[in-house]
Each structure stands twice: as C-alpha cells, then as structure tokens.
Amino acid sequence: MRLSSLSLMLFALTLLPGANGADLTYINDDILPPKVDWQGASLALMREANDPWATPFEQSAGLDSPDYQTTMEWLDKLVAQSPMVQKVSLGKSPQGRDLWMIVASAEGADTPKSLADNGKPTVLVQAGIHSGEIDGKDAGMMLLRDIAMGTKAGLLDGANLLFVPIFSVDAHERSSEFNRVNQRGPKHMGWRTNARNLNLNRDYAKADTLEMQLMLSAINEWQPQLYIDVHVTDGIDYQYDVTFGYNLPQGLSPAIYGWLDSHYRPAVETALSDAGHIPGQLIFALDETDLSKGMSWWRATPRFSNGYGDARHLPTILIENHSLKPFRQRVLGTYVMLEQTLKTVATEATSLKAAIMKDSFHYAQLITLTWEDEIQPQGWDFKGIDYKTETSSISGTKVVRWLGEPKLYPQLPVLGSTKAGIKVSRPAAYFIPPQWQEAIARLHLHGIRMTELKQDTELKLQQYRFDNPVFDTKDFEGRHRVKADSKLEKVSVTLPAGTVKIPTDQPLGDLAIMLLEPQSPDSLLQWGFFNPIFSRTEYMEDYAVEPMAAKMLQDNPGLKAEFDQALLDPAFATDPHARLRWFYERSPYYDNQYLRYPVYRGR
C-alpha cells in the first residue's frame, strides 16, 4: 500500500530536514552512485506540508508519490473548487480503473468541441506511461493547483492544458519500494508494463493495449497541438537532470522539427537553467563503459510516442528525467518545463500551427521507411560525471564506478540515424479487402480516413510478393513479428464490396504509409497482423505432380528450357522436393494468394 494523504502529511512532519533539506534518502541510496547536492531556485515552487493545498508529493517533502485513489481524491478537490478545471474519463483500464484526464482552460471547457471553440492551442501532457517513472504526475498536480488556486491562471490565457496524471493506471498500483532499483525515488514506484505485461511505449503503432486505444482516441477527439510524454531514464550518470527530445530533421515532419528546435528548445532550456536545473538533449551512450566512443542521436520509430508523433505530424516531446537525480529535483524540473511549454505554445501559436499544417499537407512523393546510422559532422560537449572502470569480483567483467564529480567530455562523436535506407514511392491510395478486419480496425483507431467500395470493382493496382519470410524466434510485446523480402508487381484484381480505400493525400497519409508498407519497421505486417498469408493450406501430392510435370514439359518447350537451366544449380538438382515444387508453383493448381500481401497500392 502507498501512503494515504493523512499518512503522507504525518510522515512529512517527522522529517528532520524539512521540505528544503539536502539529506533525504531512499532505500536504494547505498547501492546507487554518489548523489550530487542540488539546491535549485525551483525549490521555491513547493508549498509547506501543512498548506491546505499542498499536493501529496509536497506533504511528503518531495519524497513520495500518491497512489491512484489519493491522486484522484486530491484532483477531485481541485476540480470542485475551480471552474477552470474539469475531469473526464477516457475509458476503463483492463482491471476496471478509469483513465482520467484533466481539462484545464480559462473557459472551463469539458468537451472536445467546447475546447476547440476557444481557438487556443492545446497541450496534452501524459504521465506514467511507465508508471514507475511518475514525475509528470506530481509536477502536473502542482502546476494545476497553481493555475486554479494560485497566481498562474494567466497560463491559460493563450493555451489549454490536457493532463493525464496516470496513463498506465493498473501498473501504477503494482507499487513497491523495490521497483526500479536504478532510480532515486519516489519511495513507492509502479511497474513498467501494464497488467498484461505489455509496454505501452512500444504500442503506438500496433495499438494492442486498451490503454493505448483510449489514448489514441483521445488524441483524435481532442486534437492537441503539442504532446508531452514524461519518462525517467535508465543508463549512465551525468550532470543533466532534465533531458528531452523529439523527431529528427530528416524525417516525416521537418517543419515541426524546425519549430521545436528553434522556438521550443531555447525557451525551455532557458527557463530550466534559470530555475537551477541542467537541461540537455536525449542521452544514449554508444558504450556505457567507455564514453569516449560517443553518443547516439536516436531516431524513434512509430512504436514510440515521439516516433509516432513524427508520423502523424503531431509535435511530440519525450522527456527523460535523470533517474539518479532525487525525485524532488526531477519533479520540480518537470514543473518548470511544463509551465514554460504553456507560455511558449501561447506566444508561438501561429508558427506552431503553420509548421503542423506544412508537414500535414506536404505529401512527399518519396517516403523513407528505414534509416541508417552515420557519424554526425558536429560533436557534442557532454556534461558528464567522472568514472573509473574495474573488474568486478561479482560478475568477473568490467564495470563502471561513477565518482560523483562533474566532468566535461568535449566534442564526443555523435552517431545518428540520419542516412536514408529503404525508400518507396507514395501511392495514391491503399486498398484492403474486408476480411482483414483487425488491420482495418487499427487504421480506424489511428484516425486514418478511408472509404468503402460499394460493389465489386476491377482495378489495375500494385501488390507485393514476398519471399524468404523470417519470423522472430520469440514473441515481442505479445506479437510474433515477421520480415520478408518483397517485390512489387502489377496486378489486375477484382476487389469485393466492402474493401476499404485509404487515400494518402490526407493529414495522416504518412502514418498510413508507415503502417502499411511492409518494409517499414512498425508496419502492421511486421507486427503480425497478416501472418496467415505465410501459411500454405493447399498442397499437391507427389504422385500427382510427376505426371503433370511430364505433360507440362512435353507441351511447353520454353518451360523445358527453363527447367534445364534450373538444374544447373546443384542444390536444386539434388533436392527432389524443390524440383516437384518448381512444377507445382507453375501449375494452375498453385495457390495464387500464397506469399501475396493483401494490401494493394493504387497509383
């Protein structure tokens, strides 16, 4: 059990250092690297534990985070006191908990239409997609309090705020002091995966989880102009306490990248620095035991929040607070970032909307599906922490010992996924026959526009033929993934009534391409939505192939020449099954849908 509101307050009163103390500790402090003392200006944002509007986080002096019930009870009290703050349920979790969203606007809007009617840009902030990484929940509660009951109501003059305090609500309640051993607080942390052991931040493209389906529906209904996903890191030690990133410039939303990099990042980094934090871009070391090898400039695919945002042209910020910084410091840094976000979105609303429109209606004729790593021309001055390596007597291998002392690593090399790999031409539309209901339903869920053929229709289209399918050796995120070599061929086909047509000249056309092109890493094909096409269900017995093959060779001299050429391959010539299959595949009995992708491309 987590602490109730009363217990949190009583616990806070027993803390010797008080809300601004520097000696707060966690159960795992002794096994974590040394803690760097921090006394940033943002500490002034916290209220005293006995303040009637102190959040449960503040009541615990910044040590803990409340459970689901306590969180919602506190927010209900705020909603009851302020007409600017409303609460709506996005739906029920698999275990029956409401997935709540707080709607904050100067006008007190409580529906998508009433929010849109005020004409202001909307920011959607979600916390707890990994529920142990819960900083955003407590930061958002403080910020909402200061808007509704404090001096910051003006933040809603130019922007609206949608706030999901707990995304993975069931995992949030699988709470323990012993979750996330690598993280410095809160005292009680939720679980990484949901009740079905699925990772919500691998689920944006395939949308298998009920929680993600509710979130995507909310995005489609409430139409935010900026989406923020709050996490806490794993990995190495460094000086930065708040790191954040978004899509790369070489991608599907270059105008949005430009806005985020030129308007958003400078404003947010200035605000964080002024408040005593050290902001930075997302940090992923190429080798965690040797920082001299450099950093990775990571490109997210559409299974992740920021990769999904790139594909659907929704500006998306991935916050990764540093796990080794104390919980209180991380929460306050998140507060500063969210506050500045509302300010920046309000003042730069016109340029933000222009960037979204430019990317949404660009319709590039060549789409890059995969990206390759290359060394970037500009290195990175990295604000790290000094370390040493030694051979562990426990594991017998080299381990890093972080020393707790700041150290600058100048001009580290950066490896970025900025070199285009597989590209495809943009089709005018895709066609999916009606029997593939699961795939069609997913596209509907994403908000992709489509129409149905009202009658059987003959069309000249393109279709992929697959060879050499390779299935992963084990399930990943509840799916049996598959890859295959593909070749695009022209076909004439009669599509049945009920076939859906998905035009790509729509704002979510690029997302449709990333979900339907088979070589896209997060395509529905690779996630296993079309796995039945890789099963052979009709066969021909050898005793029937033999006489059929003899007749085929007798009647078709060209086929005999082709067969003689194939026999020059020793592997083929010595494989009786391959030789018989060669004839079966060229006969009218062969299954003409085997290894054919049931998604057609229209030019």
Which positions are catalytic?
320
Answer for the pair 200, 216: CB distance below 8 angstroms, yes or no: no
Query: What is the C-alpha end-to-end distance of the chain, expressed in Å?
Result: 59
Answer for the pair 86, 305: CB distance below 8 angstroms, yes or no: no
In DSSP notation, 100-160 reads EEEEE-TT---SHHHHHHT---EEEEEE-SSTT--HHHHHHHHHHHHHHSSS-GGGGSS-E
Answer for the pair 55, 335: CB distance below 8 angstroms, yes or no: no
Report the candidate in 214, 225, 229 with the shortest Cα–Cα distance to residue 101. 214
Bridge partners of 319? Answer: 230, 244
Q: Is 406 strand, coil or helix? A: strand
Burial level of 179, CB count in 10 A (0-12/13-18/19+)? Answer: middle
Distance CA 579, CA 549 (A): 10
Answer for the pair 186, 63: CB distance below 8 angstroms, yes or no: yes
CB atoms within 10 A of CB 522: 23
Distance CA 12, CA 59 (A): 6
Q: Which amino acid is at 129?
A: I
**Helix or strand (DSSP H, E) at 495:** strand 482-495
Report the candidate in 403, 226, 382 with the shortest Cα–Cα distance to residue 318. 226
With a CB cutoff of 8 Å and minimum separation 6, the contacts of 123 are 159, 160, 161, 162, 224, 225, 226, 227, 228, 341, 342, 345
Angle between helices 349-360 and 327-347 (to 10 degrees): 80
List C-alpha distances in Å: 564 to 48, 151, 551, 569: 88, 86, 15, 10
DSSP designation for 189: B
Residue written as tokens 């003689």?
Answer: 564
Q: Which tokens hold the place of 38? A: 């921090």
Within a 13 Å sphere around the CA of 33, how many CA atoms are in the beta-carbon half? 25
Q: Which tokens hold the place of 145? A: 């309090």
